[in-house]
Amino acid sequence: QENEIKLLTAEIERLKNFGCLGVSPTLEGLRDENAKLKYRLNFLQKSLQEERSKTAKSMININNCLQEIFGAAIQAAYPDLENPPLVVTPSQQPKFGDYQCNSAMGITQILLKTKEQKVSPREIAEKISKNIPANECIEKVEIAGPGFINVHLRKDFVSKQLSSLLMNGVQPPAVGKRKKVVVDFSSPNIAKEMHVGHLRSTIIGESMCRLFEFAGYDVLRLNHLGDWGTQFGMLIAHLQDKFPDYLTVSPPIGDLQAFYKESKRRFDTEEEFKKRAYQCVVLLQSKNPDFIKAWELICDVSRKEFQKIYNCLDITLIERGESFYHEMMKDIVKEFEDRGFVQVDDGRKIVFVPGFPVPLTIMKSDGGYTYDTSDLAALKHRLCEEKADILIYVVDSGQSVHLQTVFAAGQMIGWYDPKVTRVAHAAFGVVLGEDKKKFKTRSGDTVRLIDLLEEGLKRAMDKLKDKERDKVLTAEELKAAQTSVAFGCIKYADLSHNRLNDYVFSFDKMLDDRGNTAAYLLYAFTRIRAIARLANIDEQMLRKAAREEVLILDHEKEWKLGKCILRFPEILQKILEDLLLHTLCDYLYELATTFTEFYDNCYCVEKDRQSGE
Give 413-437 pLDDT, tens digit per residue.
Answer: 999 999 999 999 999 999 888 888 8
In this prediction the pTM is 0.86
Q: Which of 112-116, 366-370, 473-477 is most confident?
A: 473-477
232 three-state secondary structure: helix
Cβ-based burial of 539 (10 A; exposed 0-12, middle 13-18, buried ≥19)? exposed
CB-based burial of residue 200 (10 Å sphere; 0-12 exposed, 13-18 middle, 19+ buried)?
buried
What pLDDT does 22 receive?
A: 42
> What distance in Å separates the CA atoms of residue 179 and residue 97, rounded to the nearest whole number?
37
Tens digits of residue pLDDT in 159-168: 999 999 999 9
Tell me: pLDDT of 441 over 80.
Answer: no
Please tell me the predicted confidence (pLDDT) of residue 173.
80
52 pLDDT band, cuts 50/70/90, is low
Q: What is the pLDDT of residue 19?
A: 45
- Nearest Cα neighbor of 203 from 497, 575, 573 is 497
Cα separation, 379 vs 402, whole angstroms: 13
pLDDT tier for residue 49 given thresholds of 50, 70 and 90: low
351's CB contacts (< 8 A; 6+ apart) are: 336, 341, 342, 343, 359, 360, 362, 409
Banded model confidence at residue 612, pLDDT cuts 50, 70, 90: confident
Q: What is residue 46's predicted lDDT score, i.e. its pLDDT?
A: 63
User: What mean pLDDT, rounded, does the chain reach?
Assistant: 89
If one counts every other C-beta atom within 10 angstroms of the C-beta of residue 352, the result is: 17
CATH fold label, 449-601 = Isoleucyl-tRNA Synthetase; Domain 1 (1.10.730)
Whether the per-residue pLDDT at 31 is higher than 70: the answer is: no
Q: Max alpha carbon distance in the chain (Å)? A: 92
Pairing of strands 138-144, 348-351: unpaired
591 close to 565: Cβ distance less than 8 angstroms: yes
The one-letter code for the residue type at 274 is K
* pLDDT for res 21: 41
Integer angstrom CA distances of residue 433 from 41, 75, 439, 490, 491: 61, 53, 4, 14, 16
User: pLDDT value at position 20?
Assistant: 42
User: What pLDDT, in 10s, does the model give residues 469-512?
Assistant: 999 999 999 999 999 999 999 999 999 999 999 988 888 898 88
* Weakest-pLDDT range from 51-65, 195-209, 509-523, 536-550: 51-65
Decide if 543 contacts 166 (C-beta within 8 A).
yes
Distance CA 533, CA 146 (A): 50
CATH number of 180-226+321-428: 3.40.50.620
* pLDDT tens-digit map of 374-410: 999 999 999 999 999 999 999 999 999 999 999 999 9
Burial string for 259-288 (b: 16+ CB within 10 Å, else e) reads bbebbeebbeeeeebeebbeebbebbbeee
Mean pLDDT of 319-324: 94
Mean pLDDT for 537-541 is: 87
Confidence grade of residue 39 (pLDDT, cut at 50, 70, 90): low
| Residue 361 pLDDT | 96
Give the class (CATH, top level) of 62-153.
alpha beta
Q: Which helix (H) or strand (E) holds 556?
A: helix 556-565
Contact residues for 494 (Cβ-Cβ < 8 A; gap 6+) = 199, 200, 203, 204, 503
- The pairing of strands 88-90 and 318-319 is unpaired
Could you tell me which residue, 255 or 195, shows the higher pLDDT? 195
Percent of all residues in the chain with a pLDDT value above 90, rounded to a whole number: 65
